[in-house]
Amino acid sequence: MSRFAAVAAFLLLLVSPGGTSALAAPDAPATSSSAIPLWGTLEPGPHAVGFQVIETFDDSRSWRPERAPDGRVIPGPSARPVRISVWYPAGAAGPAPMRYGDYVHIAGSGVFGELNAVLAQRELNLLRRIMRGRSAVAHLMRSPSAALRDAPPATGRFPLIGYTPGLNAYLQHGNFVLCEYLASHGYVVVTVPQLGTTSMRLEFGIDPVSLETQMRDTEFALAAVRRLPFADQDKVALIGHSMGGVSSVISAMRDSRVDAVVGLDASNGARQLAPTLTGSAFYTVRNLRVPWLDLRRAANDELDSSSLSALEHADRYQLLFSGVAHSDFTSFPMIAMNFPTDIAGRTPAHASRVYELVARTLLAFLDATFATHGDIDQALRAAAAPETHAGLVEQFVHLPPRPVPLSGEELAFLIARDGLAATLAARPHAADKALLNAAGYRLLEWQRMDRAIETFRRNVRLHPGDSNLLDSLAEGYLSAGRLREAAAAYRDVLQASPGDRSLDESSREALRSNAQAKLSLIAEMRSWNATPAPR
């Protein structure tokens, strides 16, 4: 029995009620082809496109239960399997280009062999629903891509791009054209297929657990690819479609190593889904300080641009495209342009033109972001100026960032590095009492006792009679073992608190009680120090 066989059959039934596929795996790739029919008019970059798959496990998360419902032990690993797809700049030499079917039918061993079969069947079921006739699906399977499987990488290190698809995207590589295009222009692009929270739940929902799972999959994949010699781990951007756009923004908020974010018709722009961004436990406006490109459908009754204005510390760019649908920000229009496909409300020609413009605009944004002195605004206007692409771009908006107010932690860093006097001379607004107090406590945590006490003392001088600040100074002295000065400061708290009009009665009593308890502790500590050591 293989490691995953105990649940594989159940998983297959979940996603393919009709049984095994009637469509065989694609033939071997053609010997060679310079044509890339699914790219339309997109211009290849200077590099060939390599593609590889990494099969690994995230041991920090479980995937399947240790026991079956009848109590029997399920053998094999229970950690979450993560299949990582990587597009990268390749050298000129390499195998023949892959066909689209090679993206669908990916060989694997053990857990991944059976899991890949589930993902392939899920994709085939979708293709049969959206394409007109099985012959269309078969022709798509044989269509050449730009990717060369396991080709030797090009010389050098290239910026790393994490791409996250929308929830439950059944096309395993739903934006493969964009990924290939970016790789040809010198980027390493990483993605993982959409796979639910456990082996018994293959679908994501619009909920915090699903969103966190999606984010961690991408973050885990990026961490793995960072170790590859051709990936520049100091240059990282995140791209996300639909709910993947939401998870990309949140990931950038909690990972300061991210240099840029791109949303492709991201779900935070839909009024009903905007709370999936703002409601995240990791949503912190001040933490997003990198350029953010928001590419989406033109304004409609459901469009909510509040997140664009709220994230005021990011350099924000938004382009609105006319006459397109949500799926047109994936590679779907390029498939529809070449094969008979159900597409309503627009023509394949229009949708594919917009998709190509999205790809070029995104590339211009990344190139300007990672250039030494790149002008993003100028690059975007050149790539997607409304007067150049009449009828495709409805609106271009650029909202420059507002300065980020210092946090207590950031102020503490500057004080620790430059000293209090120099920091306040350069930033007079940092003399805010709450900010100084927070910085003092952070310095205490870092064991920078002298700097912490100096900060607390300056705050007391700036705001005399504030018993809360006196309490902080006393705590600083006590933490540094300066008992005499700590006792004096706690007596100052007892003297100042009755007349401190900034306190309510509860706070006043809490300060008084704490000061008395600390004075008793200090007296006891002094007695310990005064007791002769035993001979």
Q: Which of 122, 121, 111 has its CA nearest to residue 83?
A: 111
- Specify the higher pLDDT residue, 237 or 391: 237
SS3 call for 2? coil
Mean pLDDT score of the chain: 88
Q: State pLDDT tens for residues 78-96.
A: 899 999 999 999 987 667 8
Assign 64 a pLDDT band (cuts: 50, 70, 90).
confident
| Residue type at 392 in one-letter notation | L
Residue 378, exposed/middle/buried by CB under 10 A (0-12, 13-18, 19+)?
exposed
User: Positive or negative, the Cα torsion across 405, 409, 415, 420?
Assistant: positive
| Rounded CA separation 131/128 (Å) | 5
Residue 190 has pLDDT above 90, yes or no: yes
Average pLDDT in the 411-419 region?
A: 96
Answer left, alpha or beta for residue 61, where phi above 0 means left and psi between -120 and 50 means alpha. beta
Q: Collect all residues with Cβ–Cβ distance below 8 Å to 505 and sequence separation of at least 6.
A: none
**According to the model, what pLDDT value does residue 31 have?**
31
Average pLDDT in the 194-212 region?
A: 89
**According to the model, what pLDDT value does residue 18 have?**
30
Average pLDDT in the 32-54 region?
A: 86
- In the structure encoding, which two tokens stand for residue 131, read together? 């394409």
User: Positive or negative, the Cα torsion across 82, 87, 91, 97?
Assistant: positive
Q: State pLDDT tens for residues 92-149.
A: 766 789 999 999 999 988 889 989 999 999 999 999 999 988 799 999 999 999 999 9
Distance of CA 188 to the CA centre of its chain: 16
Assign 23 a pLDDT band (cuts: 50, 70, 90).
very low
Distance of CA 449 to the CA centre of its chain: 37
Distances (CA, A) of 527 to 472, 523, 534, 535: 24, 6, 15, 18
Helices (H), 340-375: 348-370
| Rounded CA separation 62/198 (Å) | 8
User: Positive or negative, the Cα torsion across 120, 125, 128, 129?
Assistant: negative
**According to the model, what pLDDT value does residue 29 have?**
33
Report strand pairing: 188-191 vs 231-241.
unpaired
Rg (CA), the chain: 29
Residue 473 has pLDDT above 80, yes or no: yes
User: Positive or negative, the Cα torsion across 325, 331, 334, 335?
Assistant: negative
Kindly give the interhelix angle for 433-445 and 449-462, rounded to the nearest 10 degrees. 160
Average pLDDT in the 65-70 region?
A: 83
Average pLDDT in the 169-186 region?
A: 96
Report strand pairing: 79-90 vs 158-164.
unpaired
| Rounded CA separation 98/468 (Å) | 68
Residue 426 has pLDDT above 80, yes or no: yes
pTM, 2 dp? 0.84
b/e per residue, 19-50, with b = 16+ CB within 10 A? Answer: eebebeebeebeeeeeebebbbebebbebbbb
The four Cα atoms 319, 258, 243, 317 give a dihedral, to 10 degrees, of -10
Distances (CA, A) of 155 to 47, 84, 90, 152: 10, 22, 8, 9
